[in-house]
Amino acid sequence: MTEPAALTLTEAARLVRERTLSPVELVDATLARIERLDNMIKAWVLIDRAGARSAAVELEREAREGHLRGPLHGVPIGIKDIFYTAGLATEAGSKALAGFVPDYDAEAVARLKRAGAIVLGKLATTEFAFADPTATRNPWNPEHTPGGSSSGSAAAVAARICQAAIGSQTLGSTIRPSAYCGIVGMKPTYGRISRYGMVPLAPNLDHVGILARSVMDAAAMLAAMAGADPRDHSSLAVATDDYIHAAMHPSGAPRIALLPKAFDEHATAETRDTVATAVARLAAAGARIEAVEAPPSFAEVAANATLELSAEAAEAHHERFAEKRDLYGPKIREFIERGLATPAWRYIHALEVQKRFRREVNQLLTSFDIILTPATPGVAPAGIESTGDPSFNTPWTLSGHPVIALPCAVAPCGLPLSIQLTGAALEEGRLLSIARWCEEVLAFDAVPPASLL
């Protein structure tokens, strides 16, 4: 059998179900790998060894008795440190929250536990999920950023020091680090997963994100967390799909829209070439592909998303900021101050742009199954002072449509490159099915260098 820590979430869950692998064995192997690697990766800010092992013992007993809680039974995962975890510190990467220990789990965390997942601990985040970077390193090359703000989540999954993780996305904080670290990332439709118990940054843009090693793994994570929650005002009271079934049954060849004028000018030559190669392979497999113009309001997206984010961050943080301003990092502090100075009319205009762009993307997706673009302008930048450029992800965060990042190649420099697939709102099952088809065609199986891991 493959080394337990190297198994995907889906593989590990199947072996637990078959009683070929014990949750205790899996947790112990993962903790041993963390001990060996995390001094270099620096993905974890808190590891609950005793709690994870205790949960594994209980879940192993349940599995022996034939009781399985759900699709994640006995599998260890990581939690970005902006999600409340009962009895474990939740500090959001900030001195302003140092020592805060909630007495309840975020709803996303609670649902993962109910599905049988074992929480190993908390993963590094940029401060309040914004731009002040973490110490986390990219497993493909520790001299490069893993991206952000879900830095620890992406690095841990790529380094095989947890089977999957949750993160968040307010501009590009799930898709970008997933792309930089060569893993699958998923941002569902806005409101599909409850944000109750998640430290906010900008409530009209905040999404719960999934970071995993395969489309099937992302589907299992979504299946565990999706669904309405009355405690989250943005939560959607609409039916969920059978996401695992959808991912298990790849779609037929999809209709794909490309937006070359909107993205190619800002992408590196190697990104353009890599995406063109991926598109050609999908076309050869039967996909119907057409280049189209971006929606009319696309040009307004970036500026208005940034303005909306700063205004909402100011609202979300103003009370704590008034008391603890000096404990905030320089980038988030400057951004909140900008938001506090934003006129109401400009914020209202930004909301109108968001609504208009959402309608226009909806209209475009009536003619196509997905929109395919590069996930990032290029590979992960050198250094950890920046978390990279979110501009290729921001449009789909503003529109609220579901997105999946798929790695498709390794650049000559040894770092991965990815595409992102955007689907119709509330149709995550369809998107997962298409993504699984693309995943099979592209057949990306590279992993970070063995010399590092």
The mean pLDDT of 43-70, rounded to a whole number, is 97
Q: What letters, b where the CB count within 10 A reaches 16 and e where it falls short, cover 161-187?
A: bbbbbbbbbbbbbbbbbbbbbbbbbbb
pLDDT at 1 over 60: no
Cβ 16 vs Cβ 75: under 8 Å: yes
| pLDDT single digits (tens) 367-418 | 999 999 999 999 999 999 999 999 999 999 999 999 999 999 999 999 999 9
| pLDDT single digits (tens) 298-337 | 999 999 999 999 999 999 999 999 999 999 999 999 999 9
The one-letter code for the residue type at 83 is F
**CATH number for the segment(s) 4-255+380-442:** 3.90.1300.10
Q: Which of 153, 173, 297, 310 is catalytic?
A: 173
pLDDT at 214 over 80: yes
d(CA 105, CA 346): 36
Question: Would you state the structure tokens that stand for residue 233, as one six-digit string?
Answer: 């005002």
Is 235 known to be catalytic?
A: no
The CA distances from residue 290 to 178, 186, 260, 375, 396, in Å, are 26, 24, 10, 18, 19
Three-class SS state of 370: strand
d(CA 373, CA 259): 7
Confidence (pTM): 0.98
pLDDT at 158 over 80: yes
Is 310 known to be catalytic?
A: no
Question: Phi and psi for 263 in degrees, rounded to 5?
Answer: -120, -35
Cis ω for the linkage preceding 194 (within 30 of 0): no
The one-letter code for the residue type at 112 is L
Q: What would the DSSP string read from start to end of 205-274?
A: T-EEEEEESSHHHHHHHHHHHBS--TTSTT---SPPP-HHHHHHS--SSPEEEE-HHHHGGGS-HHHHHH
Q: Which of 80, 113, 122, 187 is catalytic?
A: 80
Q: Which of 22, 42, 122, 149 is catalytic?
A: 149
Is 187 known to be catalytic?
A: no
CA nearest to 176, candidates 154, 158, 143, 159: 154
Three-class SS state of 69: coil
| pLDDT single digits (tens) 4-42 | 988 999 999 999 999 999 999 999 999 999 999 999 999
How many alpha carbons fall within 13 Å on the CB side of residue 36? Answer: 12
Instruction: Decide the pairing of beta strands 118-123 and 165-169.
Output: unpaired
Instruction: Please state, rounded to an integer, the average pLDDT across all residues of the chain.
Output: 97
Three-class SS state of 404: strand
CA nearest to 51, candidates 5, 91, 88, 4: 88
Judge residue 116's burial from the number of C-beta atoms within 10 Å of its C-beta, 0-12 exposed, 13-18 middle, 19 or more buried: buried
Three-class SS state of 450: coil
Which are the contacts of 110, defined by CB distance < 8 A and separation ≥ 6?
Answer: none
d(CA 289, CA 331): 40
